[in-house]
Amino acid sequence: MYGVPLILAAEFEGTVVGDFPLTINVPEYRQGEVGFSFHQGYTGRGLASRTLAIVLGFGFIQLGLHRITAATFADNERAWRLMERVGMRREAHLIHDGFVRGRWMDVFGYGMLADEWQARHPGLVAVVSP
């Protein structure tokens, strides 16, 4: 990620259970990137899905972003399924794009546009302009 991330936290019953950095990496084109890390002890409750959807909404509504991307290692099924649950679309499969613990890893790239987020959340108003 390039730029300065806003670190948004997920809290459950007074405990921080995850962080979601949101970075505006191309301000003039309203492009952003989101990441996430979630405590495994709090999975399976829909918290990560709800939080990621909220973070995307914050990026589109409050920050006026046009497009938000994310990436994960291909073998991190929980992460890419989370992105797909909130409506992000897989846009790339990068072969041997990361080198971790002595081995090459494939990376999946995901993206979502403001109007795609808006279609999933019709009661909220996102900034959708050229």
Mean pLDDT of 8-35: 91
Q: Which of 2-6, 9-13, 18-22, 86-90 has the lowest mean pLDDT?
A: 2-6
Quote the CA–CA distance of 124 and 38 in Å, as a whole number: 26
Secondary structure E strands in 13-121: 15-26, 31-34, 37-38, 67-73, 89-100, 103-113
- Name the band, by pLDDT with cuts 50, 70 and 90, for residue 122: confident
Look at residue 124 in the predicted model and tell me its pLDDT: 65
Quote the CA–CA distance of 111 and 89 in Å, as a whole number: 5
Look at residue 69 in the predicted model and tell me its pLDDT: 97
Look at residue 60 in the predicted model and tell me its pLDDT: 93
Quote the CA–CA distance of 39 and 64 in Å, as a whole number: 29
Token pair listed for 80 = 């890419």
Domain boundaries, the chain: 5-120
Q: 5-120 architecture in CATH? A: 3-Layer(aba) Sandwich (3.40)
Any idea what DSSP says for residue 43?
T
